[in-house]
Structure 1
Amino acid sequence: MVEEEFKWLMTTYSKPIEGDLILGSPPKLQWASDGNAEADGRNSAHSEHPSKDLETAICRTPALIPSRILPLLHTIAQKLVQDGNQQSCYKIYRDARRSALELSLRKLGVEKLIKDDVERMQSDALEAKIGKWTKYLQITVKLLAGERKICYEVFEGISFNKDQCFTELAGTGVAVAKTLLSFGDAVAKSKRSPEKLFVLLDMYEVMHEVRSEVEVIFQDSFCSEMREAALGLMKLLAQTAHEMFVNFEELVEKDTSKTNVHDGTVHPLTIRVINHVKFLFDYQSTLNLLFQEFETGSDTESQLAVVLTKIMQALQNNLDGKSNQYKDPALMSIFLANNIHYMVSSVRRSEAKHILGDDWIQIHRRIVQQHAKQYKMVAWGKAVQTLSIQVASSSGTSASSDLSSSGVSRAMIKERFKSFNMQFEELRAKQSLWTIPDQELRETLRLSIAEVLLPAYMSFVKRFGNLVENEKKPRKYLKYQPDELDQLLGEFFEGQQSVEQKK
């Protein structure tokens, strides 16, 4: 009997399908890091978003019924309809496919979550939920797309209400889709934070990927509400993500975190913002989609450059404000040099260099140099001035004749040596506790100090050292040899931890 054969075929070949057969195996997640020793030990500053340079799992439309069986089902369905058994054919097909779809979707275990649930969730838990949401949405859309495809293939050319049949059998799938869209809506409307931008971009990207299939699946009047809900969610995600991206500049500039960086090292805000910018480049293609949707009049890359330049300037402005906490102007300069250098070196090692450009890098390298120069002047100017021959000489006479014949001048030179020793000890005690985490910057600054200090000290010792060498305690005055000074400069900017390890 034709009807029994159709029922047997539909029952036999309508089996639930595993979601993993729809989603290809994703690559292992690699957690992004700034890859820089400068950030070691600053756990709180690290971002915890998986790197988007990993490709998402491949999603394919499943073969819900073997392709070799479809022509046979089409032939039998055609005969049943021609024989006047349209309702029986309709019911057999609908019930078999609905049961298979329900079993497939039941295994997903999709939860219904509202906005309040999302607000209460910790960020790690929310990210895990959104990871599942992405997978479930792709599976659901692919299953529904597959169901629509085989429905239209089996009943192609047959006088049969295919739209209604698909709508009825897809009821469970539509319900799951509604739940997923409801969760997406709750996330988009929940409290905003910089970290949430990335999950919104993930969600928007997935919605954009399935958009064309959603429009096909829900193209009929029976499903217009679902189509509008899906497209509405995509628009809401895009709008929210776009606003958060553009407004990040303001959040950075107005950041009032009370974290005090006592040793002048890289501030946690700098690390967070730079990590944020790095992650943005992992989402560059998604951001370009946002700009295409909301901006006109310029290419997306230039728009991205404008926003990123503003973010970096906002960070610099904030750091300028935070530097005012330092009462020591030398430490203020170290703090600014550290942070701007971190910005520059991070940009040079990332995709940001192609957007911000060489001019930005060169301008900010010069800013680092200016802060280093300012540090050297305010920290070492007095010590170098102490070693100045002009200061140690009497007006109108040569230093040698004055110092060889005058006890006052000898006392003055002794005082100069003592003053320099005291200043150097104070600078060493303080600045050994200061931190310059970047080795290149640390060595550059030490070298610049040595280039100014050592020649001045050597000249002073050569000119006037003989005046104190015959004292009872010459080391009281001539405390350091030039090579000793050079060695001690190597202890500067190592930080508290290094000093304690040497004790």
Structure 2
Amino acid sequence: MGGDVLSEGAAVMRESLLKSQSITDSVVSVLGSFDHRLSALETAMRPTQIRTHAIRRAHENIDKTLKSAEVILAQFDLFCQAEAKILKGPHDDLDSYLEAIQQLRSNILFFNNNKSFKSSDGVVNHSNNLLAKAISKLEEEFKQLLSSYSKPVEPERLFECLPNSLRPSSESSGNQGDSTGRNPSSNSHSEHHHNNNLENADFTPPTLIPLRILPLLHNLAQQMVQAGHQQQLLKIYRDTRSSVLEESLRKLGVVETLFKGKACNEIRESAFGLTKWLAKTAQETFGDFEEAVEKDATKTAVLDGTVHPLTSYVINYVKFLFDYQSTLKQLFQEFENGEETNSQLASVTMRIMQALQTNLDGKSKQHKDIALTHLFLMNNIHYMVRSVRRSEAKDLLGDDWVQRHRRIVQQHANQYKRIAWAKILQCLSVQGLTSSGGGSAVGVDGGNSSGVSRAVVKDKLKTFNMQFEELHQRQSQWTVPDSELRESLRLAVAEVLLPAYRSFIKRFGPLVESGKNPMKYIRYSAEDLDRMLGEFFEGKTLNEPKRW
């Protein structure tokens, strides 16, 4: 009995164990399924995690890029502000102008240190060019300020700088030597007293330039030195101040004082005589040079219409004169004819320029092609104007002279265009296109009525091609040495020729295109003509290859 109970208990226990094992297996199976699903979920989430990480890094990069862009844009803003101030010039607000120069230097340093920015080289080049212009304007401002406030010192102003005891008076002028009857010991005592006065005297230096101007000149000079323009600074100061000093000494009679007395009479008279002789020789030399320029008959041929050697020689001579203008002004003072010395020097320069122009008019007639005649005169007078504008001669000759001769340059350019291109433009006009006969024709207004002969259109296009090729061959050998003038002249021709050609081809091209060999007559597009115009005035030789 007891064994049966024990057996039943064991059976129940075994059954319970089996159920527990089954439950355990089920739980393990469920947990295994969860593990599998979790692994699959992790696998599915991994690309999302990678993308999230990439997005986070992209955001970080964008933030860095935006911060870098903000710094660069800030530099551009500062550059634009500096550029506006520099283009305005230093005259109205010098302090602001100098700040703009410093800002420009900071911009250059920034972009030099940030070469990774792909446009940094272009920005640096532009900034350097602007800085050069800014320093050039500073030079002009320095020269203008120094000239305005550099005036000869009147003797009375210098006497006012002396103490009262040392100022000259009319009473003391005759009290010298023994003429007063005083004994030598009295004179010795007076001289000793005078020397003591000199040692203890309180001298007041004269104000040569107003105190409020000195800081401005100092700042300008400092900027010029910093930019490496020491030599220009010294030259401006020397030329401006030396003439003022010489005039001040002359008013004081220092030269006469140095050679005072009978013993120096011969030296003094020789010096004055030499000065007058130099002045007379200078005037005669200028007169001879003026005549030589006007009558120069050298046969140097300028076949391409470029600047003649005589022109460059005379311009260099005039520039040389202005290197010695202070000396020349002194010499001109020997001839007191009521004119200012500046006016006399300007008059000499103008006469030389006019002599050159007269000679160039004669030399231009050596060209058989009248269009080349005007191109030659345009080149040479433009060279004169440009040289004057870039030198001190501009201040002396004045804006009127410059503007008058610029108009002459434009007149010759217009004459060249009219003479060289009038004939070929006739090929593109509608005159002569009407035909009274039948045959293939279209209306002048583009309609289908009879009126324009295909043969006449072909003949006009054939003539146009021939004339343009002749012009291209000849005028690509001509020269316009100044790049701006050259481009301006090409543009002026293109503005007349290309619209006329496009209009003609648009209206009458279909008549030719519908016939045989249209390319024989419509040989060029408007773009081809424009490209070929780009070869005009380059001074090419006949053997050089074409670019089209």
For Structure 1 versus Structure 2, the TM-score category normalised by the shorter chain is 0.5 to 0.7
Give the distance between the partners of 1:497 and 1:419, measured in 2 at CA: 25
- Give the alignment of 1:199-348 within 5 angstroms: 225=266, 228-348=269-389
- 1:472 equivalent in structure 2: 516
The equivalent residue for 1:399 is 444
Q: Which whole-Å CA distance do the structure 2 matches of 1:500 and 1:402 have between them?
A: 45
Taking structure 1 as reference, are residues 302 and 218 closer, same or farther at Cα in structure 2, changes over 3 Å only? closer
Please state whether the residue corresponding to 1:500 is helix, strand or coil.
coil
Q: How does 1:12-23 map to 2 (within 5 A)?
A: none
How much has 1:428 moved relative to structure 2? 0.3
Q: How does 1:97-496 map to 2 (within 5 A)?
A: 225=266, 228-394=269-435, 398-400=443-445, 405=450, 409-496=453-540
Distance 2:449 2:338 in 1: 79
Equivalent pairs counted in the alignment come to 299
* Aligned residues with identical type, % of pairs: 63
8 Å contact from structure 1 (residues 465, 478) kept in 2: yes
Structure 1 residues 499 and 224: alpha-carbon distance in aligned structure 2, compared to 1, 3 A threshold: farther
Q: Aligned pair in 2 of structure 1 residues 499, 452: CA closer, same or farther (>3 Å)?
A: farther
Q: Is the 8 A contact 2:443 2:450 kept in 1?
A: no
- 1:75-86 alignment to 2 at 5 Å? none
Asked if the contact 2:476/2:535 (under 8 Å) is kept, the reply is yes
Measure how far apart 1:255 and its partner are: 1.4
Gaps of 5+ in 1: 1-52, 54-155, 158-204
Q: Residue 478 of structure 2 contacts residue 538 of structure 2 at CA under 8 Å; is this kept in 1?
A: yes
Q: Output the amino acid matched with 2:324.
A: Y
Q: Distance in 2 between matches of 1:480 and 1:501?
A: 18
* Superposition CA RMSD, Å: 3.2
- What whole-Å deviation, never above 9, does each CA across 1:406-446 have from its counterpart, x for those lacking one? 7x811110000000000000000000000000011101110
Give the whole-Å Cα distance in 1 for the aligned partners of 2:290 and 2:425.
Answer: 42
Checking the alignment, whether the CA contact within 8 Å between 1:433 and 1:494 is kept in structure 2 is yes
Give structure 2 stretches of 5+ with no counterpart: 1-142, 144-190, 193-242
Question: Using the alignment, how far apart are the partners of 1:469 and 1:223 within structure 2?
Answer: 99
8 Å CA contact 1:431–1:493 kept in 2: the answer is yes
- The SS at the match of 1:325 is coil
* SS of match in other structure, 2:544: helix
Opposite residue 484 of structure 2, the aligned amino acid is E
CA–CA distance in structure 1, aligned partners of residues 254 and 464 of structure 2: 78
CA drift at 1:245: 2.2
Cα separation, 2, equivalents of 1:430 and 1:482? 20
- How much does 1:232 deviate? 3.5
| Alpha-carbon distance, 1:347 to partner | 1.1
Question: What TM-score does the superposition give when structure 2 sets the normalisation length?
Answer: 0.50
Q: Give the number of the structure whose alpha-carbon radius of gyration is greater.
A: 2
Counterparts of 1:403 and 1:297, CA distance in 2: 80
Q: Would you say the 8 A contact 1:433–1:499 is kept in 2?
A: no
Q: Distance in 2 between matches of 1:427 and 1:219?
A: 75
Distance in 2 (CA, whole Å) between partners of 1:479 and 1:362 is 43
Residue 81 of structure 1 corresponds to: none
SS of the equivalent of 2:299 reads coil
Greater RCO (Cα-Cα under 8 Å, separation 6 or more): 1
CA distance in structure 2 between the aligned counterparts of 1:391 and 1:374, rounded to whole angstroms = 26
The answer to whether the Cα contact below 8 Å between 2:502 and 2:526 also exists between their aligned partners in 1 is yes
Secondary structure (helix, strand or coil) at the match of 1:255 reads coil
SS in 1 for 2:453: helix
Q: Distance in 2 between matches of 1:328 and 1:494?
A: 18
1:111 aligns with none
C-alpha spacing 1:292/1:226, structure 2 compared with 1 (3 Å)? closer
Q: 1:366 is matched by which residue type in structure 2?
A: R
Partners of 2:270 and 2:470 in 1: how far apart?
A: 69
Cα distance in structure 2, aligned partners of 1:452 and 1:395:
31
| C-alpha separation in 2, matches of 1:253 and 1:403 | 64
Partners of 1:392 and 1:351 lie apart in 2 by 58
Residue 472 of structure 1: CA displacement? 3.4
* TM-score of the pair, normalised by structure 1: 0.54
